[in-house]
Structure 1
Amino acid sequence: MTGHDLLRDKVVVVTAAAGTGIGSAVARRCVEEGARVVISDWHERRLAKTAAELGTHAIPCDVTDEDQVQALIHGTVAEYGRLDVMINNAGLGGTSSILDMTDDEWSRVLDVTLNGTFRCTRAALKQMVAQGGGAVVNNASVVGWRAQEGQSHYAAAKAGVMALTRCAAMDVASHGIRVNAVAPSLAAHPFLAKVTSEELLAELASKEAFGRAAEPWEVANVMVFLASDYASYLTGEVISVSSQHP
């Protein structure tokens, strides 16, 4: 895709950016829009491969570990001198009825998806306040609004990401920092296919107005918009990236 310099010279960090999902798609779009990009992931081999493909800097990070989150932010600033955009894409899903869900299953999804977004947002915002500006873009989900069988843990985590986004935005508005989120309904990528049955994916796709899942780059485009100066008056917003009808 041809870029339009929407993020020219901005320093952008993207978590969970290895592989072929939304994270790598938004990292690619940021590069195309002129940004200097740092990608992060817990899987170091896939991270190195993705960084080589995109020509970006890479810093391994497990978002459940506060020391690693700090190292990600400090490493980015050491490399580029600042942090303009933090894109929190890291999340963990799965399908389990609440009748069968264990404490460990619940806690793991919440720790990666909600607590990880909190840790990264907090660290990024402290840097942005110190330097005088920036933007955070979080990856939520429409299941934060809508009921779906087997998604109690993931839905609770994503609803938490939405609330975190709105409240954090108010905390830093006076510093000229924006905090927004996207809420995709259904995005096609290999990891989703591994944890979701073909029957359920087909059912979910049939509910979309276009009869298909979004491509990762279609979600990434909205994230790039929120990261850019074109969204200068948006903060505390959760933008649905969906064609789903009732």
Structure 2
Amino acid sequence: MIKTPEYVAGHGLLSGKSVLITAAAGAGIGFAAATRAVEEGCRGIVISDVHEGRLAASVEKLKQETGLDAVWGLLCNVADEEQVRALIDFAEDRLAGIDILINNAGLGTSKLLIDMEDAEWHKVIDVTLNGTMRMTRYFLQQVKARGRGAVIVNNASVLGWRAQKEQAHYAAAKAGVMALTRCSALEAAELGVRINAVAPSLAVHPMLRKSAPEALLKELEAREAYGRGAECWEVANVMMFLACDYSSYMTGEIVPVSSQRA
């Protein structure tokens, strides 16, 4: 196994920008992206989640660890259109306009398709794909009305390209996020909005280690060239690249964050 590199210091990539991130309360990619956005100099940030206690704790942790006071949190289930609109309106008001939207919300379970109930299929699709669509749609409406461009970064997955047992619903949703990214990017270009996505292979965080069977994790890690999963901050780093001006000519692209052998 090739060891994890040292944590990379911020370089002011998002200096003066404002950021909204969904599903950012916890120990996963969302909170890692929120932390990195502040380290990269964002002037203000709003994070959302469906867990009230965890959200409040994450807001305080972000303030304490980074020293940024302009941090807010709002409960939001991206499967609910009213909550999506309320979140974006809240962030637009608090941040005096959102410069960067990171659609991180997603839901996954493990079930063979032959055993899957409609309700489980629909829940994963509704949060992961439809939620990304709802956030993107209403945000673009706000951007069009205010006449100032923005950036959207979506969280997809290599399972949008590759097959894995018990992941038909999740893979279908993430493939949909990829297609949504490409198509919406074409439509949003005239609004001055860039839309790209990251596609992680395996990002390891405490919740995954707690929920996934150890044998499955070892199998997935063995597929990676480095013999380990990515740290959540390694995925967040690529999100920051797509969010910042260094990727100014990129839109409609899906960027793998992967070391998979095949």
Q: Does TM, normalized by the shorter one, top 0.5?
A: yes
- Figure out how many residues of one structure are paired with residues of the other and give that number: 246
Q: Which amino acid in structure 1 is aligned with residue 18 of structure 2?
A: V
The residue number in structure 1 matching 2:30 is: 23
The residue number in structure 2 matching 1:58 is: 73
The residue number in structure 2 matching 1:34 is: 41
1:105 aligns with 2:113: no
Which of 92, 111, 126 is 1:77 aligned to? 92
- C-alpha distance in 1 between matches for 2:143 and 2:53: 30
- C-alpha distance in 1 between matches for 2:40 and 2:180: 27
Q: Secondary structure at the match of 1:234?
A: coil
Q: Indicate the RMSD between aligned Cα atoms, in angstroms.
A: 0.9
The residue number in structure 2 matching 1:49 is: 57
| Alignment of structure 1 residues 28-177 onto 2, 5 Å | 28-35=35-42, 36-55=44-63, 56-131=71-146, 132-177=148-193
- C-alpha distance in 1 between matches for 2:223 and 2:26: 27
Deviation at 1:127, TM superposition (A): 1.7
Which of 4, 10, 29 is 2:11 aligned to? 4
Q: Is the 8 A contact 2:102 2:153 kept in 1?
A: yes
Residue deviations 1:56-78 (CA, integer Å, cap 9, x gap): 21111110111110011100111
1:187 aligns with 2:195: no
Which of 214, 219, 227 is 2:230 aligned to? 214
The residue number in structure 2 matching 1:205 is: 221
- C-alpha distance in 1 between matches for 2:29 and 2:223: 21
- C-alpha distance in 2 between matches for 1:194 and 1:150: 18
- C-alpha distance in 1 between matches for 2:206 and 2:143: 34
Deviation at 1:2, TM superposition (A): 2.5
Residue deviations 1:2-25 (CA, integer Å, cap 9, x gap): 221111121100000001000000
State, as a whole percentage, how many aligned pairs show the same letter.
58
When normalised by structure 1's length, the TM-score is: 0.98
Q: Note the residue ranges of structure 1 that are not aligned, 5 or more in a row.
A: none
When normalised by structure 2's length, the TM-score is: 0.92
- C-alpha distance in 2 between matches for 1:121 and 1:52: 27
